[in-house]
Structures are given as structure tokens and as C-alpha cells.
């Protein structure tokens, strides 16, 4: 297990092929105890062993160090893991209910997910007018994903778990999340409606190239 972005001791870094690190065998376990030295921020964890296979099967997640003071100003704090998979056994343009195997050894992905789900099964982000929303984006997989918001601009508040000083924060509506990166963005909900929030690569907005919008795509939904 690799603690991505965290300044932990070398023996706990989790790359057993090159470091003195625990190699956790199937049906085995290892307890980690943390003394956090990094400042609050968005980090990740993932396998770093047989990486091309295990990482592309989805073995990773978020490791978030919360700031108990700053977070009081945030009404909604979301994390979205961006992932992509090659599902075997479907012709291009075909989506059928069933259970399928994943091929981790490909560059040809056909399903693109936010927190493990494709539109229409992604979770909408609900907000109320005037609320402050933070979205933490993370990516440990193959492609970069330029994530775009509709109807709003956002501030880019942190990069790889490190807070960006206010005077250096960019105002954007698309942020490219490359493999290994986390980005925190923040916006004020000032424009009511149902707004797309999605990867801007067209193929990543489909499910196996089917026509209805799908893939790495969710919505920001105002409750009032
Ligand atoms: Cu994408």
C-alpha cells in the first residue's frame, strides 16, 4: 500500500520491489498507524505492487487530512476519484446488463467513472443557493481528465494536497487532472439550475461509445 503524497517513513512507502516495504500477501493483512506530518489536504492511497495490473483494476482511494478550522467555511466537501476501465466482452456501442471482467492491460478504455460510477448512475452534487462548495479531484489511472463545470467559475485552492496561497489561486472552469494529481476547487453556488460537471474529453462522456451522454459526468443540482 502506497501512501500517495504523504511524507511517511521510507519503510512504509509501499513499493516492495525497490524499497524495504511491507508486501501484503493475499488473505494477509498489515496494520498501519499514522502520525500525520503533512498539512491538511487531499491525498490518495493505492497499490504500488504489480502496479500496471492492480492499479488499473481500481485499487486506490482518497486519503484526506481535514482542516477543522478552514472547513467551517465550506458547506459541501466532495471527493471525486476519476477512473477508467476496459470492460471485456462488449462490442463497441453495446451496453448490456451483466457482470464483466476488466482488462487492466490496455490503453483502450470504454468506461469512465466518478467514484466508480458512470452517468446516469453517478451521484449528483446537491447545493443550495449561496453555499460554498469544495470538490477534491483525484486521479491515479492512465489518462488525464480535464474536468469542466457549467455555469460557474471555480477557484483552484490546492494542488496535490498543498494549499495555494489566495493571491496565487487561478479562476477557471476547466482543470486538467493528470495521473497522480489531486486538485481542490471551490465555488460559490450563485446560479440556480442543474449544471453538468464532467470530463471534457468527448469519448470519456460516453458508456462504451453509446450515444446518450454517459461516462465521467455528474451534475450540480440546486435544491432551491
Ligand atoms: Cu476524461
Q: How far is the CA of 22 from the centre of ligand 1 (A)?
A: 33
- Whether the per-residue pLDDT at 116 is higher than 80: the answer is yes
The pLDDT mean for the chain works out to: 95
Q: Model's pTM, two decimal places?
A: 0.95
Ion ligand 1: protein residues whose beta carbon lies under 5 Å: 145, 199, 201, 204
Q: What is the pLDDT of residues 28-69, one digit of tens each?
A: 999 999 888 899 999 999 999 999 999 999 999 999 999 877
Say if CB 83 and CB 215 are below 8 A apart: no
All cell numbers assigned to 87: 470492460
pLDDT for 72 beyond 90: no
As a whole number of angstroms, the distance between CA 75 and CA 77 comes to 7
> If you measure from the C-alpha of residue 50 to the centroid of ligand 1, how many angstroms do you get, rounded to a whole number?
24
Structural domains for the chain: 2-222 (2.60.40.420)
Residue 71 pLDDT greater than 70, yes or no:
no
Amino acid at each position: 500500500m502506497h501512501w500517495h503524497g504523504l511524507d511517511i517513513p521510507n519503510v512504509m512507502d509501499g513499493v516492495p520491489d525497490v524499497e524495504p516495504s511491507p508486501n501484503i500477501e493475499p488473505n494477509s493483512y498489515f496494520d498501519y498507524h499514522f502520525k500525520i506530518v503533512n498539512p491538511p489536504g487531499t491525498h490518495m492511497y493505492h497499490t504500488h505492487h504489480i502496479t500496471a495490473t492492480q492499479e488499473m483494476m481500481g485499487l486506490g482511494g482518497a486519503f484526506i487530512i481535514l482542516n477543522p478550522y478552514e472547513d467551517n467555511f465550506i458547506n459541501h466537501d466532495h471527493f471525486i476519484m476519476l477512473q477508467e476501465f476496459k470492460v471485456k466482452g462488449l462490442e463497441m456501442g453495446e451496453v448490456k446488463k451483466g457482470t464483466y471482467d476488466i482488462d487492466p492491460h490496455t490503453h483502450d478504455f470504454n468506461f469512465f467513472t466518478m467514484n466508480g460510477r458512470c452517468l446516469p448512475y453517478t451521484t449528483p452534487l446537491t447545493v443550495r443557493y449561496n453555499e460554498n462548495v469544495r470538490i477534491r479531484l483525484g486521479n491515479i489511472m492512465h489518462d488525464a481528465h480535464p474536468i469542466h463545470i457549467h455555469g460557474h467559475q471555480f477557484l483552484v485552492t490546492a494542488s496535490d494536497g498543498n494549499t495555494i496561497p489566495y493571491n496565487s489561486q487561478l479562476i477557471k472552469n476547466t482543470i486538467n487532472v493528470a495521473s497522480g494529481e489531486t486538485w481542490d476547487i471551490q465555488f460559490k453556488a450563485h446560479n440556480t439550475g442543474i449544471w453538468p460537471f464532467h470530463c471534457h474529453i468527448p469519448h470519456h462522456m460516453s458508456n462504451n461509445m453509446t450515444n446518450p451522454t454517459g461516462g465521467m459526468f455528474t451534475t450540480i443540482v440546486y435544491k432551491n
